[in-house]
């Protein structure tokens, strides 16, 4: 079983996944709402958009911007069941358990927390 640290380290090795970052506007939103509220949003998105066994628009259900959690989902490969299957071997066609949903939310929130900590620090140059 992979830890959150291991999952985040692996995601960092993907150019595509590591290209997602929180913009200043997203960070301002997180600060304004607070992490508890953002976690509730993450729980709602995961339950409504990822957890069902059948998702008619799977692969297109997560916008590329508009909410910090959407960015976290792309950065963490938790954007659709296809990516969950590829990265975490989560079977498709089965409803996600409460435990699976919680693990996804924990990963998303860990990613957001890291992004929030990067405030004020110089960013490494973007690869590619």
The 8-class DSSP code of residue 31 comes to H
| Binding residue count for Zn ion, defined by CB under 5 A | 3
Tokens of 13: 């090795």
Which of these ranges, 19-27, 45-53, 75-83, 116-124, lies near Zn ion under the rule CB under 5 A?
A: 75-83
User: Judged by CB, which is closer to Zn ion: 80, or 112?
Assistant: 80
The closest alpha carbon to 74, from 38, 100, 48, 50, belongs to 50
Residue 80 in the binding site for Zn ion (CB under 5 A)? yes
Q: Which of 22, 30, 46, 79 binds Zn ion (CB under 5 A)?
A: 79
Residue 83 in the binding site for Zn ion (CB under 5 A)? yes
Q: Minimum CB separation from Zn ion for residue 76, in Å?
A: 10
H helix runs in the chain, sequence order? 4-12, 15-18, 24-33, 35-45, 68-75, 81-88, 98-117
Q: Minimum CB separation from Zn ion for residue 14, in Å?
A: 12
User: Judged by CB, which is closer to Zn ion: 55, or 112?
Assistant: 55
The CA-atom distances, in angstroms, between 74 and each of 32, 62, 91, 119, 121 are: 22, 8, 18, 21, 23
Q: Minimum CB separation from Zn ion for residue 80, in Å?
A: 3
The 8-class DSSP code of residue 96 comes to P
Residues lying near Zn ion in the complex (CB under 5 A) are found at 79-80, 83
């Amino acid at each position: 079983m992979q830890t959150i640290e291991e999952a985040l380290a692996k995601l960092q090795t993907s150019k595509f996944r590591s290209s997602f970052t929180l913009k200043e506007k997203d960070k301002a939103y997180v600060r304004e709402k607070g992490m508890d509220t953002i976690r509730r949003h993450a729980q709602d998105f995961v339950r409504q958009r990822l957890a069902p066994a059948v998702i008619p628009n799977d692969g297109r259900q997560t916008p590329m911007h508009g909410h910090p959690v959407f960015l976290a989902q792309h950065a963490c490969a938790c954007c659709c069941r296809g990516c969950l299957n590829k990265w975490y071997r989560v079977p498709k066609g089965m409803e996600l358990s409460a435990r699976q949903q919680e693990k996804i939310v924990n990963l998303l929130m860990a990613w957001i927390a890291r992004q929030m900590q990067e405030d004020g620090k110089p960013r490494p140059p973007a690869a590619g």
